[in-house]
Amino acid sequence: MHKKPHLPTKLCATCGKPFAWRKKWEKVWDKVRYCSERCRRSKSGKPV
C-alpha cells in the first residue's frame, strides 16, 4: 500500500505551487525545480 501523503514536496520555481516527488525524479530530486514542462519552459523566476 502506498503512503502518498508522506512523499517529499517542493515549491515550483516558476508558479510557486507545491509538487510531490515522482519515481522518475528518484535520482535527480535535488536538481528538480519545476512542477511541469510548461513551467520549465517559461522560467520567469518569480512565483505568482
**pLDDT for 9-21, tens place per residue?**
999 999 999 999 9
Q: How confident is the model at residue 6 (pLDDT cuts 50, 70, 90)?
A: confident
Tell me the pLDDT of the chain averaged across its residues: 87
Averaged pLDDT for residues 9-34:
94
Contact between residue 48 and residue 15 where contact means Cβ atoms under 8 Å apart: yes
45: left (phi over 0), alpha (psi -120 to 50) or beta: left
Q: Is 39 helix (H, G, I), strand (E, B) or coil?
A: helix
Cell of 48: 505568482
Cβ atoms of 47 and 13 within 8 Å: the answer is yes
| pTM (2 d.p.) | 0.72
